[in-house]
A and B are shown apart, each in its own frame.
Chain A
Amino acid sequence: MNDVPSIVVDKLVKRFGDFTAVNQVSFQIRSGEIFGLLGPNGSGKSTTIRMLCGLLTPSSGSATVVGLDVARQAEEVRQHIGYMSQKFSLYNDLTAIENLQFFGGLYGVKGRALDERIAWAIKMSGLAGSEQLLTGELSGGWKQRLALGCAVLHRPQVLFLDEATAGVDPLSRRQFWELIHEMSREGVTILVTTHYMDEAEYCNRLALIDQGLIVEMGTPTKIKQTAIKGDLLLVECSPLGGGLAAVKQAPGVLEASVFGAALHVVVSTGRQPLTELPAFLAAHDVRVGRIELISPSLEDAFVSLTGSRALGSESYQ
């Protein structure tokens, strides 16, 4: 990792009619860095990445990728980037090897170099022996790794992954991220969008994005520390709704929200919530089960920063 910015985004704006999808977004990504855009669907992640790939023209602001302006030098930008979109849009009626040959041809990879890269991609995606299967017959994880292979056949300096792991099983996702880290070590700059919290943890740096605005940026650790201003408690109680209403009235409680079947409650530091809260809730006819101090997740950070409950669930896919 070095300090030369590979991607520079400056006050980027994209409007669709009256709707502002991306609002004054600015960030810089160093070469070899894995940078994540984390936010719910419709928050402007994909629109941002599409502008950086030259698929959409910015309404205002500017962005450069490897020093090339994405609005004016889109065709040159495309020589240096790999792009993988949400649907791993390969040709289902071509075989794995035919897809690789096709994209190799489009990226101008030829001769021995192409053979080598195709062999690498087949090995990387675990498709050895299945090269002649139609892509449509491959499972999600295979398809995804094949799509990654197609996107990086030409050894791009920058890789854009737009929700690239959506709909893939957890094991395949972990394998996929190992490949991403390997490329990052080789100096490839990687910009990913995701709404999976566990994936966001893999990134070197993150930008939390909500309704087209970046609400926080930094390393995952730093974001969690700065977002939660107090101690975080997990409280299991019943009824859950009544518990949430009651706990918000409790002394020292800064915020509270439902996480799964329990509550996450932020209390100001210096209090004794483990003893105070159960008593308070019992007085409000709420039965308390487990209560413990936990370390905040990115989801806690996001909820705390945006006041929304929008992340982390598969239903947002």
Chain B
Amino acid sequence: MSKSIKVVGVGGQGTILLAKILTTVLVNAGYDVKMSEIHGMSQRGGSVSSEIRFGDKVNSPVIEKGDASILVSLEQMEAARHIDYLNKDGILIVNNYKIHSMVTLNGKVKYPNNIIDELSKQVKTYVVDGTKQAIELGFDKVMNIIILGALAKALGISDLKWEDAIKENVKPKFLELNLKAFRLGLSQVN
């Protein structure tokens, strides 16, 4: 059996690094892992996603709708857009942050304001103030690592060496900050 985790966000938010660390930790733990992402055009402020599947043996590198046990969204509206990938018994982890798209920026359409309330009615949802906490830590870009911490907790697999995996994937001068962010994220999910 394989398990699927989908990570979504907006180009530039760090979905790829988050997915890379998750992949590293699973590979290091001996799982068969496949990870899929689309890059190219969509990185320019568009909607982006990475898909991670792991288990004893994984065939398809892509996740089917209704198959993800965890959906991680670094942005509110992206969680709503991709919610159909989540299994109805799955977990949503969402960064409590809005990024406008061209159509909401210019006020033509309003950015929906009840996303998190509505989604929490549909599925088990953990809301993390990742962006706010990252700014408080002194660097808004570590938001993705705070969310990774929340994911690590929600995933609930013991014996995964998360901090080693972070070390493998971030520059040494940012390591301490990233570890701090990760630990902060861990404490957000009960």
* A, B: real partners: no
Residues of B within 8 A of A (CB): none
